Structure 1
Amino acid sequence: MSVRTLSRRVAALGLIALISACSSTSPKPSETSSAAPEKPAATAQAAPAGDQCKGIRSRCIFEGSYEAGERNYAEQEAKRLNIAELQRLRRILGQQ
């Protein structure tokens, strides 16, 4: 196999790898959680939203006015997530 053929194949494989890596998408924040105030605070869908905030906090910072009842829901959800994280840390450290 000549060097030219080998380099073409390596370039083609590299291009395929780059295209496949760029085409894979993750769910958008609006697809994984909802900000509807009627949503109960004890749902399991809110946990992935917390994971999305670990990388880029600006995705999770809301700048604007709340709708009726939404502020109360947000505070309850934040409290629930804080308690869940505290329990997780206690389990990891074996202090439960």
Structure 2
Amino acid sequence: MSIQTLSRCGVAIFAAALMAGCSSSGSKTSEQGAAKSYSSTARAGGECASRGKCIYKGAYESGERNYAEAEAKRLNMAELERLRRAFGN
């Protein structure tokens, strides 16, 4: 392959990745829409597009903090197992 062909492919891949990243972080105005957007973004990309929007800074309801910590622990363990399977450890 020539350098010109490689650079064209690189630009096309970069543009596709940029468009995919922008389309997955659609703007939602309601909290419910934002929560749905975050959960689908987290599942698809593994990270929140804007960390400040993903971190809840308000008061927790009764039992909500324990649930959130248990769910975070479960998700971390699931990701750890997925990485172990992927890298053969």
Matched, 1:30 2:35: yes
CA contact (8 A) 1:32 1:49 kept: yes
What CA distance in whole angstroms lies between the structure 1 residues aligned with 2:87 and 2:81? 10
Higher relative contact order (CA 8 A, sep 6+): 1
Tell me which stretches of 4 or more aligned residues in structure 1 moved more than 4 Å. 24-27
Structure 1 residue corresponding to 2:58, chosen from 60, 64, 69: 64
TM-score, normalised with respect to structure 2: 0.50
Structure 2 spans left out of the alignment, 5+ residues? 1-18
Structure 1 spans left out of the alignment, 5+ residues? 1-20, 34-45
Which structure has the greater CA radius of gyration? 1
Matched, 1:73 2:28: no
Name whichever structure is richer in helix by fraction: 2
- Deviations 1:14-71, CA, capped at 9 Å, x for gaps: xxxxxxx8xx7758442368xxxxxxxxxxxx7x463366132223211011000100
Aligned length: 60
Change (3 A) 1:82 1:49: farther
Structure 2 residue corresponding to 1:50, chosen from 30, 38, 42: 42
Q: Secondary structure at the match of 1:68?
A: coil
Displacement of 1:80 = 0.6
Which segment is superposed worse, 76-85 or 51-60?
Answer: 51-60
Matched, 1:94 2:88: yes
Identity among equivalent pairs (%): 47
Q: Which amino acid aligns with 1:70?
A: E
TM-score, normalised with respect to structure 1: 0.47
- Alpha-carbon RMSD across the aligned residues, in angstroms, is 3.0
